[in-house]
Structure 1
Amino acid sequence: MRRFYVTNLLLFLFFLQTFAQLGRVVFLQSGRHNTVTPTKT
């Protein structure tokens, strides 16, 4: 049971990081329409 819990926790953290990156990309894409920034991260 403990191993199953740890695996779920790792998967949750992985998905959380992935969604955070996706959200950042979408935010940058939407923000680019308002103000054009030549510098990329």
Structure 2
Amino acid sequence: LPNADPGSVLDAMAAEPILINRPLVETDKGVRLCRPQDTVHEIL
């Protein structure tokens, strides 16, 4: 979806969650896609 508008990308991600690099972690310091898993330490 390189030429898709942001709304279309979000729609595709909602329809096909496998497209999302997970896990997503949210804290008061922000949100990170935690792959590799050590990335989570940035927001803890």
TM-score normalised to the size of structure 2? 0.30
Point out the structure with the larger strand share. Answer: 2
**Considering only CA atoms, is the larger Rg found in Structure 1 or Structure 2?**
1
Point out the structure with the larger helix share. Answer: 1
